[in-house]
Amino acid sequence: MPQTYLHSLRRMAVFAGLKDESLKMIVLSATLVEREPAEYFYLENQPGDHLYVLIEGAVACKKIKGNGEIVLSRLYKGDCFGEMSLIDLMPRATGVQAITNSVALEIHRRQLFELYRKDLEQYAIIMMNMGREVSRRLRNAEHRIHELQHVPNREVVPAAKMQTVAV
């Protein structure tokens, strides 16, 4: 991972407050994954043991509804996704699809456990950062649900247009 990525990652909310040593440990053992537009990072209800940090591009978080999908949110460079499954150990609550060519840093649960073993304080910081992100998303979802209940033409995409990428 180039040093320029480390500098960029330092400014991302999920990594806020981490020591350089901790950030390097996480990032150097992570994987860069790329998706083209319409490809999925993961689908709703899949098991989840990775957190993703969007380095480039844009993605849509989608929820299956009937024979289609509803876009709950869009995420951009610097945003993270997949954190909820690391916190609650449940399957993915949404699918995440690339809107544009996208690159994300994929961080496995093992890497966070290694941080837990080496520096409990740093582990607590990153877990609190992820918790804050989940809280922000919950607030946004509540707002979005309210909007959807009052707008007759919802953004629904037929399920037949869903694509996935084997990983």
DSSP letters of 129-158?
A: HHHHHHHHHHHHHHHHHHHHHT-SS--EEE
Question: What pLDDT was estimated at residue 149?
Answer: 81
Q: Has residue 108 been placed in a domain?
A: yes
Secondary structure of residue 93 in the 3-state scheme = coil
Q: Has residue 86 been placed in a domain?
A: yes
* Domain assignment of residue 100, given as a range: 3-160
Sign, Cα dihedral of 34, 125, 114, 136: negative
Question: What pLDDT was estimated at residue 167?
Answer: 41
Q: Has residue 39 been placed in a domain?
A: yes
Question: What pLDDT was estimated at residue 1?
Answer: 53
Q: Cα–Cα distance between 102 and 36 in angstroms, integer?
A: 6
Question: What pLDDT was estimated at residue 105?
Answer: 92
Q: Has residue 167 been placed in a domain?
A: no
Residues of the chain with pLDDT below 70 are: 1-5, 151-167
List, for residues 89-122, the tens digit of each pLDDT value. Answer: 899 999 999 999 999 999 999 999 999 999 999 9
Query: Which CATH number covers residue 112?
Result: 2.60.120.10
Question: What pLDDT was estimated at residue 152?
Answer: 66
How far, rounded to the nearest angstrom, does the alpha carbon of residue 11 sit from its chain's CA centroid?
Answer: 16
How far, rounded to the nearest angstrom, does the alpha carbon of residue 101 sit from its chain's CA centroid?
Answer: 16
Rounded to two decimals, the pTM is: 0.79
Question: What pLDDT was estimated at residue 155?
Answer: 55
Q: Has residue 29 been placed in a domain?
A: yes
Domain count, the chain: 1
